[in-house]
Structure 1
Amino acid sequence: MDYLLVDDRGICEEIKVPDREFSNSPYRLYRFLNDLEDLLASISSDRDRLQAICPLVQRLLTSSYWLQVPEQPPDPELGWSVQMLYDEPFFPLTVQLVAWLPGIASPIHNHGAWGLVALISGKEKNTFWRRSPTVEFPGKIERVGDRVITAGEIVTFMSDTIHSIEALGDEPTISFNIYGETNYEQRFEFDLDTMSAQIF
């Protein structure tokens, strides 16, 4: 199992996640959410939180086979769909299943929140970027590198990680995504042609 972290500079690195002993009892979504709440309350560093969350996600995906097939296939017009599994007002967490049609690519963006993507099926290319502002173009970015993420891998992001994704292969790409509390004033979509950033 590969656990990856992409920092605010677009650097992708493998992170070490300590082995944990879990019971063999079913690990249901509500237990997972309770464990996440405890982690968020006890760990303040986003990087440390992500390291602690990774094994819980792995346990959930191994135990909960219903997550392997989302109820919402990718929208044929949009090329993607989002099935919200958890989103509660005034609680800094959303949990989603996201499905992409092959060949569909996202705009270049950040999330304004820490995030975790566990690929359930398919594969996707993540391209990572970093800010390189100038006086004339404060929204300018430059490409750092890319990584193909395959089923079973988990990639985590800091709040200002900038990336774009493209679904590869012949089958839809399905991922289990978690995002922390979003700072909407810091969530941007980047345009390479105009070297600008727009809040979205």
Structure 2
Amino acid sequence: MIDMLHQDWFVDAQGQCQPRPTLRPWDLLQEHYYLHQFLSDVLHIIAHAPNEFDQWDYLPQIRRRVRQLVLNSYWLNTQRPDPDPKTGTAILTLYDEIGYPLTVQTVTTCAGMSTPIHNHGTWGVVALLEGQERHTLWRRMTHPDRIETTGQYILQAGEIISFQPEAIHQVEALEPTPSFTFQLYGDTQPKSRFQFEHAPFAVKPF
């Protein structure tokens, strides 16, 4: 049975948000699961992808590791910077090394703040640790060149949402409290991450 309080979701290139089976939290509990173990596990999963363009096929395994880290790492849940008063957000990079193929960070966003419409140009996994977020999903059309919305989903604390590289979304932190997320992204391909405008249509590097 899927635990609806700890649901996993997957967004494909067409902007469709699909539920994915989720293990019960108590099946993932262990005494220690450190960040360095998590990063090693994710790199091992990626290394066994058939090729670099199929890494997102391994998102079920990566989502499992993300949930395992969230459940077992008290340290992770304390890595929460205060939002900048001017921007309404704060990003804390948890690990950074030249040539490292992952982006690992926590993000705090004030309620009411929203991102531009964008993609990431790589697979992504986002765990919402506190608050609520509205994810507005889009897909890109080519005849004519434009984007259209495919729906919205309200992400609840305890849920994990993952994305194909071409997935397009806009995220808004909902009232009354800031949202706090753990975010993991793969290696972004050059010239593949974009910001979009809906009307009139426009696209530029993001």
Match of 1:185 in 2: 191
Separation (CA, whole Å) in 1 of partners of 2:134 and 2:194: 20
Percent identical residues: 37
Whether 2:118 is the aligned partner of 1:109: answer yes
- Could you say which residue in structure 2 is the equivalent of 1:119? 128
Residue 111 of structure 2 contacts residue 173 of structure 2 at CA under 8 Å; is this kept in 1? Answer: yes
Aligned partner of 2:37 in structure 1 is 31
Residue number in structure 2 paired with 1:175: 181
More displaced 10-residue stretch of structure 1: 49-58 or 23-32: 23-32
Could you give the per-residue CA deviations for residues 134-165 of structure 1, whole angstroms, max 9, x where no partner exists? 35xx3x10000010001100000000100001
Contact 2:80 2:180 in 1 (8 A): no
Q: Secondary structure at the match of 2:142?
A: coil
- What does 1:9-20 align with in structure 2 at a 5 Å threshold? 9-17=14-22
Unaligned runs of 5+ in 1: none
Q: Output the TM-score relative to the length of structure 1.
A: 0.92
Choose from 68, 71, 76 the match for 1:62. 71
Provide the residue aligned with 1:78 in structure 2. Answer: 87
Q: Who is 1:161 aligned against? A: 167
Q: Distance in 2 between matches of 1:12 and 1:115?
A: 14
Determine if contact 1:184/1:199 at 8 Å carries over to the other structure: no
- Equivalenced residue count is 197
**141-150 vs 9-18, which deviates more?**
9-18
Aligned counterparts of 1:18 and 1:104: Cα–Cα separation in 2: 32
